[in-house]
Amino acid sequence: MPKPSALQAIRFEPPGTLTVLDQLLLPYDETLVPVTGIDDGHRVIKAMQVRGAPAIAIVAILSLVVDIHARPERWATASELLVYITEATHYLETSRPTAVNLFEATKRLRDTLASTIHVHPNLSVSELCQRVLEFGEAMLARDLSDNQRIGALGATWIQEQAPHRAPECKPEVPNASVQPRSPSTPATWRILTHCNTGALATAGWGTALGIARSLFQQVGEQLHVYCTETRPYMQGSRLTAYELVHDKIPATLITDSMAAALLASRTTNAIVVGADRVAANGDTANKIGTYQLAVVAHHHNVPFMVAAPWTSIDLTTPSGADIPIEERPSDEMVTAKGRVVPHTSSLHTELPADARVRLAAPGIATWNPAFDITPAHLISAIVTERGVITKSDSQATFDLAGSHARLFGV
Ligand SMILES: CSC[C@H]1O[C@H](OP(=O)(O)O)[C@H](O)[C@@H]1O
């Protein structure tokens, strides 16, 4: 398998070749994993070899594309194929429960195909396979363009709305991989982000990290990005840091526990995070640890921004209380099993293999929710590809149905 170019989580060659970058092994190993059908698609999503709300939806649909193109002779009619697609999409939905993008894409595909067959009852199996291929390719293209719009809108909003702090004498801790910033040019724009919301979580560019990329395009070295490690999967230290170093964006990694101290000691213009599901009132499900960042931002009067395409906004879910929160296996928290993390290197070769990957005392109980809910009243702005949505300080929630009607002209 050829060594992949970095930063492309999903590689699709129509109609039947799909591979994903195994994100459990990044940044130490760039390995492509073939996805030959819906079983592979379900497996790589559930195991988090591919992750990120948009990427999950795209890989699920593309795994169905490669699946039905493999042996289309299995179906005599388009209606038989639609039955298979309906069952297959419901199966793919069982891979991970929180990110709504997966459910939005599978429902939209089923509805689109059902109406297509209704309008064209003589559609052939190969013609229906082609429609599914076109649907998947459109998802890839739309996600990238949505992210670039989110990046541009978010970068502009930060420069126009986020309090612009005067540069401080204290230079940032230089990023070892890019030229250390000289003290004479301290950052004038600092943002903190959590988890990974970049090219590795999407079809490209990213959502919250897409805003960082766009801001870097606009202000260059005046930007400094802080990213949290994001235990236990370490999306921040393994994936976001990897993307920031790759793009030579000045950045500093902090542990999750350092966020409050950072805001207390460094003037920060905004905290920018992604979303797995935004409810109709603006409550947002995102990586565990997001809620406490919102509380810290509120305490320090720092704007808290959620970056999300409308495919992550679920108008059928009234509030955060209605969002299912995925709990991950205990061993993903108390061991490094299946994931490459620095401190399980071969330093302690004399220890038994299990000890080299164990991160907690054997026998301790764990609680390992993959997401938490940030209430709308702690969110300053929701940056979508159609516009930045805000609310007055007196409003505790957003009216996203009204925003949708206004922005989509429906
Ligand atoms: C651009 S969506 C990224 C979103 O997905 C992450 O979750 P996971 O890595 O478990 O798929 C995290 O919540 C990010 O904000």
Mean pLDDT, consecutive 10-residue stretches, the chain (410 aa), reads 68 96 94 98 98 98 98 97 98 98 98 97 98 98 98 97 62 48 65 98 98 97 96 96 96 97 93 98 98 97 97 98 97 80 53 72 96 98 98 92 94
CA 289 to centroid of ligand 1, rounded, Å: 12
CA 353 to centroid of ligand 1, rounded, Å: 30
Residue-level pLDDT at 187? 73
Q: Which residues are catalytic?
A: 276
Residue-level pLDDT at 188? 85
Residue-level pLDDT at 169? 44
Residue-level pLDDT at 357? 81
Strands 313-314, 17-21: parallel, antiparallel or unpaired by DSSP? Answer: unpaired
**Probe target for ligand 1 pocket from 276, 306, 327, with the most ligand atoms within 8 Å of CB:** 276
Q: Which atom of ligand 1 is nearest to the CA of 274?
A: 15
CA 230 to centroid of ligand 1, rounded, Å: 11
CA dihedral over 243, 31, 134, 111, signed as positive or negative: negative
Q: Is 373 in the pocket of ligand 1 (CB under 6 A)?
A: no
Q: Is 235 in the pocket of ligand 1 (CB under 6 A)?
A: yes
Residue-level pLDDT at 129? 98
Residue-level pLDDT at 259? 97
C-alpha 177/C-alpha 161 separation (Å) is 31
Question: Atom 1, ligand 1: which residue's CA is nearest?
Answer: 197
Q: Is 66 in the pocket of ligand 1 (CB under 6 A)?
A: no
Q: Is 15 in the pocket of ligand 1 (CB under 6 A)?
A: no
Q: Is 194 in the pocket of ligand 1 (CB under 6 A)?
A: no
ipTM over 0.90: yes
CA 192 to centroid of ligand 1, rounded, Å: 16
C-beta of residue 196 within 8 angstroms of C-beta of residue 228? no
Q: Is 51 in the pocket of ligand 1 (CB under 6 A)?
A: yes
CA 204 to centroid of ligand 1, rounded, Å: 14
CA 55 to centroid of ligand 1, rounded, Å: 9
**Probe target for ligand 1 pocket from 26, 197, 227, 243, with the most ligand atoms within 8 Å of CB:** 197
Q: Is 286 in the pocket of ligand 1 (CB under 6 A)?
A: yes
Q: Is 228 in the pocket of ligand 1 (CB under 6 A)?
A: no
Question: Atom 12, ligand 1: which residue's CA is nearest?
Answer: 287
Q: Which atom of ligand 1 is nearest to the CA of 273?
A: 15
Q: Is 52 in the pocket of ligand 1 (CB under 6 A)?
A: yes
Q: Which pair of structure tokens corresponds to residue 268?
A: 């920060």
**Probe target for ligand 1 pocket from 150, 195, 239, with the most ligand atoms within 8 Å of CB:** 195
Q: Is 207 in the pocket of ligand 1 (CB under 6 A)?
A: yes
CA 53 to centroid of ligand 1, rounded, Å: 6
Question: Atom 11, ligand 1: which residue's CA is nearest?
Answer: 52
